[in-house]
Amino acid sequence: MKRCEWARATPLEQQYHDKEWGVPIHDDRLLFELLILEGAQAGLSWSTILKKRDGYRRAFDNFDVEKIAQYSGKKVASLLSNPQIIRNRLKVKAAITNARAFLNIQTAFGSFDTYLWKFVGGIPVQNTWKNKTRVPTRTSRSDAISKDLKNRGFKFVGSTICYAFMQAVGMVNDHTVDCFRYEEIKKMSMSARRLSDLKNIGKKIEKRLNEIGIFNENDLSTLGPVKAYQQIKENYPNETLPLCYYLYSFDGALQDKHWN
């Protein structure tokens, strides 16, 4: 089983590579965790950060952004004396600054996920690198993310850090083509593209849902997409096709067979 070259050094790196690296992430807590860890890596190896990851989770309240945004000077002093993390004052203070900026983005966009993924149109970029020497350390997209984050008050978000972050959270598939994870991540990305397309369809016909007055979102949550679809099919046969797309996007885990 062949892996990306960087992941062969230690069992910890291998596990991270095999299970996490490049998987598209849309959970704000995990996005925040990886953003902070990528910033903490500056000037260090990723292996060093992975070894301290559990320590970071304990020290930083499992990356609870609201708690971190309220950290006091006393908490900073405590963190700087904690050997389980990187005891760099600038990086520790940056985590607090970034937590506050992160909350501002959540307020403005509804979620950090919504804000972040717009830089790739909601769809992971599929690269086809034959070896690690071809993989870039920054791109125009990471430049744009870095610039915007800095304008919003973030620290330790240079373009190189942002590109490493993009790789980690699956915004780009930078597994080399001979790596066993390349095709697996590619399939995940194709699913993400399909779900994104379906959600776009859903938005266009959401108005029609309201016009018909069949269900609201609470009704859908209670009934579940399959039962809701069955009721639509029985009572509004002419609306079946667009509404089934909407309901599919409402729960992307469902398979096509439910809509046949």
Catalytic status, residue 21: no
What is the CB-side half-sphere exposure of residue 257 using CA atoms within 13 A?
Answer: 0
pLDDT tens digit string along 97-142? Answer: 999 999 999 999 999 999 999 999 888 999 999 998 999 999 999 9
- pLDDT at residue 233 above 50? yes
Q: For the residues 180-208, what does the mean pLDDT come to? A: 69
The answer to whether residue 237 scores a pLDDT higher than 80 is no
- Would you state the structure tokens that stand for residue 180, as one six-digit string? 């066993």
Domains, the chain, in order of start with CATH, read 5-178 (1.10.340.30), 189-259 (no CATH)
Residue 179's pLDDT is 97
**Residue 152, φ and ψ in degrees, nearest 5:** -90, 5
Active-site residue, selected from the candidate residues 13, 21, 38, 163: 38
Residue 253 confidence (pLDDT) above 80: no
- Which tokens belong to 37? 């860890």
The tokens of 134 are what? 């071809």
Which amino acid appears at position 19 of this protein? Answer: K
Among 13, 21, 46, 115, the one annotated catalytic: 46
Active-site residue flag, 217:
no
Full-model pTM: 0.76
In the residue annotation, 16 being an active-site residue is answered as yes
**H or E element that contains 222:** helix 217-223
